[in-house]
Amino acid sequence: MDLRAELLKSIWYAFTALDVEKSGKVSKSQLKVLSHNLYTVLKIPHDPVALEEHFRDDDDGPVSSQGYMPYLNKYILDKVEEGAFIKEQFDELCWTLTAKKNYKPDRNGNSVVSHQDAFKLWCLFNFLSEDKYPLVMVPDEVEYLLKKICTAMNVELNSCELEDYLSQEPQGQGGLTVWQFLDMVNSGRFLRGIEQEAISMAVEEVYQEVIEDGYLWKKGQLRRNWSERWFMLKPSVLSYYMSEERKEKKGSIALDKHCCVEVLPDRDGKRCMFCVKTSSRTYEMSASDTRQRQEWTLAIQTAIRLQAEGKKSLHKDLKQKRREQREQREQRKAAKEEEMQRLKQLQEEKERKLQELELLKEAQRQAEILLQEEEQRRRQQHEEMQRTLEIQLQEAEQARASMQAEMVLKEAEAERQRKRILELEDMQERLQEALQQEVKARQDEEAVRYAQARLLAEEEEKLKELMKLKEEQEEYIIKTQREKQVLKQEMENKNKCLEEAQKQLEEVRVNRQRVDQDVMAAQRKLRQASTNVKHWNVQMNRLMHPIGPGDKRTNSSGGVFAGYQPLLSRRDSSLK
């Protein structure tokens, strides 16, 4: 798990805490405040322009976690430098936001852990939780963390009781959430009879072991005096500060594969001494007791070994190994279940095969009996069929001879019919041409009628205008009696307009006469087309007479193509 993933886990809790309506979205004003606080605790230079631009007020509404991630990655996480900030302060900020909404200790003060211990358990939970959201801790990791705390108090954890509790507790995504975990610890079910102070010390010890920091005495290089410093161990560096607030960094020791740790004998009034040797210097340190010295020397040696192997952290490495072991157990369990299922299927398949075998034997006996009966019945049917076939063969020979004679007659008849069809097809083509001429004449007539109607409408409009002008002229005549001199010019103008309207009316009448002549010409064409259609109908009726087998063509009065006559009659009536 890299630094970005660790920071994202804590930020996820802060984001979900601001999501009051549990809709997956947070208002821009709240995200603006959260981003400003993240700038501060992560020691990142503030970018007020980008902050105001990204979270300006508009109509877009709240922002989802996916909408916040681009800004978070670009302006915050990409600028974070490991060691430039105090991660505990960052975790406290996210814990404060999420605990206010989600952490619910006993109101009567009967909680097993204090608020500060709950924060440390929250940090440990984030470290051991799975790398997927929503964050959960699998039962194996829950048991591992509780065993670490109990071991620090010299108490044995009741694994059976824990297993019963986990089986009864509803688990989402295959594990416990941090709030379920804190409720389980505060219930006192697994820490009965233990004082809160002892639990707090155990939580602090496990927290320092996993986070890998604490106080040590360090001997100076120049003045050779001893000073108490707060040490923090990272995979590649051992940093030391003036105090646990880590505000003033005094120095750091770079760890690589050339470094080593050695235990020193007690001297200069200091006990539990050890030193870290690098390629350029030897650092002497003193722990408070033998156990602390052993833990620090082991942790530093492990960090040097992991650094040489290219790994990150002892506890992260152990966590990865536990995860791999869980996956292997689950794979073995799945394989075992699959094998049992396969064996069960094979057993069922075997039983089914035995039943099918018994059924097949019984079916074979029945089939032998039926086969004998069928053989006897088949012999009888074969004899009857042979007699029937002989009779049918004789009848077929007779039918063949009669059909050959009939085929000769049919071929002659078909030849006559083919000739008649060719004549009718030629006649049909001529009729279609006449019909097309008639349709064209009707279309011309319709166009002429439309033009005549348009001219009549124009004539009516002109008449209306003429009547209107006459009425206006009469009004002007009445007014001229009083204002004759004033309106004389206007009367002349009106007279001119009247003359122009009369000319236009005359033109409309001339156009009307021309259209009437066009209509009469179209009607003559239509009558001529109708006469042609009637002529061809008469010719068709003469040709459409039935032809009987062996009859003469001159005496036929109907036939196969008599059906054409009603069709042509209907077409003629529609054309009329």
Q: Which tokens go with 145?
A: 């963390």
pLDDT recorded at residue 173 = 60
What ranges do the domains of the chain cover? 1-102
* Beta-bridge partners for 488: none
Q: Which DSSP category does 2 fall into?
A: -
Residue by residue, DSSP assigns 347-369 as: HHHHHHHHHHHHHHHHHHHHHHH
User: Strands (DSSP E) along 390-455, which ranges?
Assistant: none
Q: Which tokens go with 40?
A: 């501060």
pLDDT recorded at residue 328 = 77
CA pair distance 14, 102, nearest whole angstrom: 11
Q: Which residue has the tokens 């008649």?
A: 420
CA pair distance 55, 69, nearest whole angstrom: 13
Q: Note whether 435 and 506 are within 8 A (CB).
A: no
CA pair distance 250, 32, nearest whole angstrom: 34
pLDDT recorded at residue 140 = 81
CA pair distance 448, 6, nearest whole angstrom: 91
CA pair distance 109, 276, nearest whole angstrom: 45
Q: Closest Cα to residue 61, out of 11, 23, 35, 17?
A: 23
In terms of Cβ atoms closer than 10 Å to its own Cβ (0-12, 13-18, 19+), residue 549 is exposed
Q: Which tokens go with 14?
A: 């802060």
> Residue 132: CB partners within 8 Å, gap ≥ 6?
173
Three-state secondary-structure class, residue 17: helix
pLDDT recorded at residue 559 = 43
Q: At what angle do helices 564-575 and 314-543 cross, to 10 degrees?
A: 90
Alpha helix ranges (H) inside 187-289 = 196-211
pLDDT, mean of each 10-residue run, the chain (576 residues): 78 85 81 86 81 65 74 84 78 88 73 83 83 81 82 79 76 75 79 78 77 71 81 80 79 86 86 89 87 81 77 61 72 84 88 90 90 89 89 88 88 88 88 88 89 88 88 82 76 84 87 88 87 83 64 44 46 46
CA pair distance 48, 67, nearest whole angstrom: 19
Q: Closest Cα to residue 549, out of 538, 560, 541?
A: 560
pLDDT recorded at residue 334 = 82
pLDDT recorded at residue 107 = 62
* Beta-bridge partners for 315: none
Q: Which tokens go with 238?
A: 């051992």
> Residue 288: CB partners within 8 Å, gap ≥ 6?
215, 272
CA pair distance 85, 77, nearest whole angstrom: 13
pLDDT recorded at residue 508 = 86
Q: Which residue has the tokens 């590649």?
A: 236
Q: Note whether 120 and 87 are within 8 A (CB).
A: no
pLDDT recorded at residue 554 = 44
In terms of Cβ atoms closer than 10 Å to its own Cβ (0-12, 13-18, 19+), residue 43 is middle
CA pair distance 564, 554, nearest whole angstrom: 19
**Distance from chain centroid for Cα 155:** 52
Q: Note whether 218 and 208 are within 8 A (CB).
A: no
Neighbours of 414 (CB within 10 A): 10
Residue by residue, DSSP assigns 371-386 as: HHHHHHHHHHHHHHHH
Q: How far is CA 460 from CA 90, 464, 503, 510, in A?
A: 94, 6, 14, 14
- Give the CA radius of gyration of the chain: 56
**Distance from chain centroid for Cα 254:** 50
Burial track 266-281 (b if 16+ CB lie within 10 A, e otherwise): eeeeeebbbbbeeeee
Q: Note whether 285 and 216 are within 8 A (CB).
A: yes
Q: Closest Cα to residue 166, out of 187, 151, 192, 194?
A: 187
CA pair distance 163, 139, nearest whole angstrom: 8
Q: Closest Cα to residue 543, out of 563, 532, 557, 530?
A: 557
